[in-house]
Amino acid sequence: MTDDMAQGEQRAQNARRADRIAFVASPHEQAQTTLRKLSECYGGVPFDDADVVVCLGGDGFLLETLHRVLGRGIPVYGINCGTVGFLMNPASDGDLREKVRKALPSVLHPLRMQATSRSGERHEALAFNDVFLFRQTRQAAKVRIEVDGRVRLEELVCDGVLVSTPAGSTAYNLSAHGPIVPLSANILPLTPISAFRPRRWRGALLPSTASVVFTLIEQEKRPAAAVADFTEVRDVIEVRVQEDRSLETILLCDPDHALSERIIAEQFTA
């Protein structure tokens, strides 16, 4: 068992021993209806007093919740009340506490983005899905890519480029034709978005320890924005991305709906 798995299992055990549940729900009607129903059955405690957070909504709201619990050591159990809900557990009848006790933990580490804008301002943000650059105008962006201090691609002409976590590899990364990566692989996909030159470049698989630097070429003529989950920085000139192993959060999944299994199964979906 890896250190991540052991730590995740310990936190999951803490959740299984406790009955103190905090409920958070997106504003959508289905999530709010489910919130009222579960609150009547199980009560609920304030967020800061909880041993486990039950998140009601879709993947976007779950990402917000993961950011909210980061550093608190509180596992999150998601129930799908949204559209896709890839990271969520399906809504079903049954004892919620028993489901939490039986849930399997997945340890997630965020990417840390450090972006510098043309004005000289520096911005930091974390991402559990991905960090990506995207052109702001009709003209393609030009990006130099450096990995661990070595220039690997002198000039990528593209709509954008992204670095994904394994958990986020089935999201924007997959839509951009990037590879799906198992949670245990310790690999970060680096994927171009509509690459124009070099036209046949399909990206790379990097070790999770890699430090990636994107430098914007012709920044004034070809402005680009950088995005880390739901944080956006406009007019960037340089963006640094690296996984932050000092931070983690625990996602709880039903045994028959484990996140690692869903990621593998997604590779066999037509």
Ordered structural domains, the chain, with CATH: 3-109+248-266 (3.40.50.10330), 111-243 (2.60.200.30)
**pLDDT for 57-87, tens place per residue?**
999 999 999 999 998 889 999 999 988 888 8
Where residue 269 falls among pLDDT bands split at 50, 70, 90?
confident
Write the CA distances from 143 to 86, 102, 103, 216, integer angstroms. 31, 46, 42, 5
- The answer to whether the annotation marks 229 as part of a ligand binding site is no
| 51 has catalytic annotation | no
pLDDT interval class at 39 (50, 70, 90): very high
Q: What angle do CA 55, 56, 62 make, to 5 degrees?
A: 55
Q: 146 pLDDT exceeds 80?
A: yes
Residue 48: the pLDDT is: 86
Q: How many CA atoms lie within 13 A of 229 on its CB side?
A: 22
Is residue 91 marked as binding? Answer: no
Cβ(177)–Cβ(171) below 8 Å: no
Residue 258 token pair: 């484990």
Per the model's pLDDT, the better-predicted residue between 200 and 205 turns out to be: 205
Cβ 131 vs Cβ 163: under 8 Å: yes
172 pLDDT band (50/70/90 cuts)?
very high
172 known member of a binding site: yes
pLDDT digits (tens, 9 = 90+) for 18-35: 579 999 999 999 999 999
Task: Read off the pLDDT of residues 81-121 as tens digits, 9 standing for 90 and up.
Answer: 988 888 899 988 889 999 999 999 999 999 999 999 999 99
**Residue 3 predicted with pLDDT over 80:** no
pTM, whole model, 2 decimals?
A: 0.87
Percent of the chain with pLDDT over 70: 93
Q: What is the mean pLDDT of residues 138-155?
A: 97
Is 173 labelled as part of a ligand binding site?
yes
Q: Which of 4, 59, 229, 235 is catalytic?
A: 59
CA distance 217 to 223: 9
